[in-house]
Structures are given as structure tokens and as C-alpha cells.
Amino acid sequence: MKGILALLLLTSCSFLGVKKDSLKADKAFYVQVEENGNFFSTRESGFSPNAKFIVKKSVRVDPASELYLEKVITISSKKNLNPKVTILNPEQSEAIYYLNGKKYTSRMNLITKKNQLIVRMESPEKQWNGEKTYDIPKGNGNICYYSSIVECAVVTGFLDQAIKKGGGKMNFTLVWEAFPYFQEQFLNIPSEPIAIASLIYDGRNRLGQHRLTLDAGGQNQFYFVDKEYRLVKHVWASQGFTRERKDK
């Protein structure tokens, strides 16, 4: 797994142009505002030729700089829960954080047959090293990476149905792919890589954007998507976090 993910992190996302069903390849630039400053975020997503759905995200202080604060990649695949429902099932991920000039890495592998998540950590700190296995709680079978929430809502058909009905709720199991460093970055999030979550469709705002509310880890986050289901804005008010799309 390490070799595959390292290669994907280094390569261009030009291979993400394969269209599968309602998900389109996308590359977006965001201004990310946090309590400790403003940052520049890039997100690329799409299907690879072997039908893996890949999301690559990076965060920098300066868009002109090659010095990264974060690099995250997730790999998922479409899976049929039943004849009517398809999900975007997590498979592998890698998250790299650069803190005080030091490198912190977390790699995950979802073992579907055993219903387990394996987390491998490498860092300068003793408590964030080695391998841990976590049992995935029994739920409705719908599992999704944090970085792919909007796409999961599209693939399952939830977003289309909720828009038609004017409301709706999707329950699922959330995987925080940047655990444990993500939990250190934000306040009052349970120190676990897995959370029971729900996504609620709240209708449209005055700009005509669809609003979704993520309820996970005891906190709410708000996602705004356009008519093509592209993420336009992400607000986590309790953390003082906002990410807004700025197309070049």
C-alpha cells in the first residue's frame, strides 16, 4: 500500500478524467480560513482507469509555494449494498502533516471482510507510531471518507432524492482519513478514526446552492454545492473554519 499511495501523491491528476455515472472529474482551488490564519487548498477528484475513485487534497500557506502543510489522498470504489443502493466504499488512504518542520504520516486500509480499519502511523512522537486495528461499528453498511462526503451523497442517490423531496437524511459511518493528526488540529473531536454520522439536506440558500449539514463527532459542518454537485463552500462554525471555492 505504501508504494502505491506514495506514487499517487507524486503524480499528476490528469488520470482522473474518466467519467463514471454522475460523478465528474474536478479540480478546485479554495481559500481556507482558520482561527490561526488563511491558507490555500487544492482538491482534485475523479475515477482512475481501473475504476477507483480518488481524492487528492493539499494545503499550503502560499499558493506560489511548494511547501505543504498537509497532503491527503483517499481511494474508494463503488460497491453495491443491494440492487437499489450503491456506495463509495473506502479502501486505502494516506495523510501527511508537516508540523514544526517534522513529518507525520497516517495510512489506512479498510478490510471489508473483517469489518476492520487498520491504521499505520509514523511520526517523531512515540504515541503516534505503529499499527492499530479498529472495529467498524455495525450500521447500515454505508461507509464514507470525510474527504468524499459530497460524492458519497451523489453515488448513493441520496442527493438527487433529497432535492426532489425537498429534504432528507443519510445515515452512514464516517472515516476520518487524517486521524490522529486531524483530531489534534481541531477541538473536541473524539479521538477515534471512525464516527457514526448523518448528512441532512437543508434545501437551497439565496444563491441557489444546495446546503447539506454533516452531523459527526458531536458537531455540525455545512456544505454548499452547486447544480453540478461541486463543493462551493464548507463551513465549520464551531471551529472557526471556512473553505470557499475560488476558480482560476
Q: Is the pLDDT of residue 41 over 90?
A: yes
Is the peptide bond preceding residue 180 cis, with omega within 30 degrees of 0? yes
The Cα 180–Cα 145 span in angstroms is 14
Nearest to 105 by CA among 119, 90, 89: 119
The Cα 157–Cα 36 span in angstroms is 37
Asked if 239 and 35 touch (Cβ cutoff 8 Å), the reply is yes
Q: Is the pLDDT of residue 156 over 80?
A: yes
Asked if 86 and 79 touch (Cβ cutoff 8 Å), the reply is yes
Q: Is the pLDDT of residue 108 over 90?
A: yes
Nearest to 136 by CA among 155, 108, 114, 167: 114
User: Which residues have a Cβ under 8 Å from the Cβ of 134 and sit 6 or more positions away?
Assistant: 116, 117, 118, 119, 192, 193, 194
What is the reported pLDDT for 15? 37
The Cα 64–Cα 170 span in angstroms is 39
pTM value is 0.91
Share of the chain above pLDDT 70, in %: 91
What is the reported pLDDT for 248? 57
Strands 194-204 and 26-34: unpaired
Asked if 174 and 159 touch (Cβ cutoff 8 Å), the reply is no
**pLDDT tier, 24 (very low <50, low <70, confident <90, very high otherwise):** confident
What is the reported pLDDT for 172? 97
Strands 143-145 and 210-216: unpaired
Nearest to 22 by CA among 205, 243, 230: 230
Of 74 and 112, the structure prediction assigns the larger pLDDT to 74
Q: How far is CA 10 from CA 16, 44, 73, 163, 210, in A?
A: 14, 13, 11, 38, 34
